[in-house]
Amino acid sequence: MIILNRNWLNNKSMKEVALIDLGLIAYEEGWAIQERLFNETIQTKIELRNNSLSLGATTENYLIFCEHPHVYTLGKTGSEDHLLLNEKELKEKNATYHRINRGGDITYHGPGQIVGYPIFDLDHFFTDIGKYLRYIEDVIILTLSDFGITAGRIKGATGVWLDPESDTLARKICAIGVRTSRWVTMHGFALNVNPNLDYFGNIVPCGISDKSVTSMQVELGKEIPLDEVKNRIKMHFEQLFKIRLLPQSI
């Protein structure tokens, strides 16, 4: 069970994190924004270490929300065999494909899915990647609980699952894959709210062939407003990471 400190609202010393909502954006554009903020943060850390910045300077933290047009992305440890489409078939499905620099295998992003990219300097939080991944899973588990969906984890399989204890019923609802350097994070999570799940049939999702994929829409039998889900995700990020999210344009 996840227990939250309900006094978080009264904590005036919480770290401020920029909240950037990009809306629907091509994958390569969103990736470029991530890379820029990620590299700027790392460069700032290097300059701070070298004492080349003024006293009081620090790194910034960001949480990016977006949706992407149909796209398949393959992580550094993934197999291209897990993409079941050739170039012609990708075009027919109006989808693109990118090999990228996060961990994990292949996944799908598309309209109706909330994608979140935390660009956090973990020196501001805790320098533990495993804990960081579990916190992101907790954010999603708590969010799903707010909508009446019970979710959990499968040992050795990063992400959020429904019926995780069942070999036959377990199904993934949120994929997670990150990259870190100098304790700075990028990439993140993709929560299936109302996506077209048929697109997952063109891959071996996350390299796991014996488990299915689901969405909030399928589980609840109705379309769920994305903004309602985002608001709950924001709240749980603030609670768990003890931050205050401030909207910012880019």
226 vs 37: CA distance, rounded Å: 25
Q: How far is CA 181 from CA 45, 74, 105, 208, in A?
A: 11, 19, 19, 27
Find the catalytic residue in 20, 63, 114, 206: 206
Q: Are 224 and 194 in contact (CB under 8 A)?
A: yes
In sequence order, which residues have a C-beta less than 8 Å from that of residue 101 and are 6 or more positions away? 76, 179
Question: How many CA atoms, within 13 angstroms, populate the side-chain half-sphere of residue 145?
Answer: 11
CB contact at 8 A, 178 and 187: yes
Specify the pairing of strand 62-67 against strand 15-24.
parallel
- CA-CA distance, 238 to 224, in Å (whole number)? 22
Annotated active-site residue 206? The verdict is yes
Active site residues: 206
